[in-house]
Structure 1
Amino acid sequence: MFVFLGIAIIFSKDRKNINWKSIAIMLAINVLMAWFLTGFPLGRDIVKGAAAGFNWLVQVSYTGIEFALPNWVHVKSMNFITSALLPILLIVPMFDILTYIGVLPFIIKWVGWALAKITGQPKFESFFAVEMMFLGNTEALAVSGLQLKKMSAKRDLTLAMMSMSCVTASIIGSYTKMMPGQFILTAIPINIMNAIIVTNILNPVSVSPEEDVIYKMGASNAEADTQTTDTSGSELAAETQTKAAETEKREPFFSFLGDSILGAGKLVLIITANVIAFVALAALIDRLLGLVNPWLSLEHLLGIVMFPFAWLTGMDVSEAFKFAQYMGTKLVTNEFVVMGNVSPILHTFSKHFQAALTVFVTSFANFSTLGMIIGAFKGLVDKEKNDVIARNVGYLLLSGILVSLLSAGIVGIFVW
Structure 2
Amino acid sequence: MERFQGLIGIALIFALAIGISRNRRHIKWRTLAVGLAMQVAFAFLVLKWEPGFKALSWVAGGLTSLINFTDKGTQFVFGGLLPTNNNGFVFALNVLPVIVFFGALIGALYYLRVIQLFVDIVGTGLQKLLGISKIEGVWASTVIFLGQTEAPLMIAPYIRKLTKAELFTCMTGGFAAVAGSTLIGYSLLGAPLPYPAGSKRDERTWLAHHG
TM-score (norm 2): 0.66
Which is helix-richer, 1 or 2? 2
Q: Deviations over 1:114-165 (max 9, x none)?
A: 112122x2xxx421213435574587365354x45xxxxxxx2212311313
5 Å-filtered alignment, 1:9-408, equals 9-73=18-82, 75-77=84-86, 79-81=89-91, 82-119=93-130, 121=131, 125-133=132-140, 136-137=151-152, 140=155, 142-145=157-160, 147-148=161-162, 156-167=163-174, 174-178=181-185, 344-347=191-194, 355=207
For residues 95 and 140 of structure 1, do their structure 2 counterparts lie closer, same or farther at Cα, with a shift above 3 Å needed? Answer: closer
Structure 1, unaligned stretches of length 5 or more? 149-155, 180-338, 356-410
1:412 corresponds in structure 2 to 209
Q: How many angstroms does 1:340 deviate by? A: 7.5
CA distance in 2, matches of 1:64, 1:5: 44
CA distance in 2, matches of 1:166, 1:22: 15
The higher relative CO (CA closer than 8 Å, separation ≥ 6) is in 1
For residues 14 and 100 of structure 1, do their structure 2 counterparts lie closer, same or farther at Cα, with a shift above 3 Å needed? Answer: same
- Determine what percentage of the aligned residue pairs are the same residue: 17
Tell whether the 8 Å contact from 1:111 to 1:130 is kept in structure 2 after alignment. Answer: yes
Tell which structure's C-alpha radius of gyration is larger.
1
Q: How many angstroms does 1:52 deviate by? A: 2.3
Tell whether the 8 Å contact from 1:87 to 1:174 is kept in structure 2 after alignment. Answer: no
Q: How many angstroms does 1:353 deviate by? A: 8.9
Aligned residues: 183
For residues 144 and 47 of structure 1, do their structure 2 counterparts lie closer, same or farther at Cα, with a shift above 3 Å needed? Answer: same
Q: How many angstroms does 1:90 deviate by? A: 2.7
Tell whether the 8 Å contact from 2:47 to 2:204 is kept in structure 1 after alignment. Answer: no
1:412 maps to a residue whose letter is H
What RMSD over aligned residues (CA atoms) do the two structures have, in Å?
A: 3.6
Tell whether the 8 Å contact from 1:61 to 1:90 is kept in structure 2 after alignment. Answer: yes
Q: Deviations over 1:350-394 (max 9, x none)?
A: 868954xxxxxxxxxxxxxxxxxxxxxxxxxxxxxxxxxxxxxxx
1:2 aligns with 2:11: yes
For residues 126 and 20 of structure 1, do their structure 2 counterparts lie closer, same or farther at Cα, with a shift above 3 Å needed? Answer: same
Tell whether the 8 Å contact from 1:65 to 1:73 is kept in structure 2 after alignment. Answer: yes
1:28 maps to a residue whose letter is A
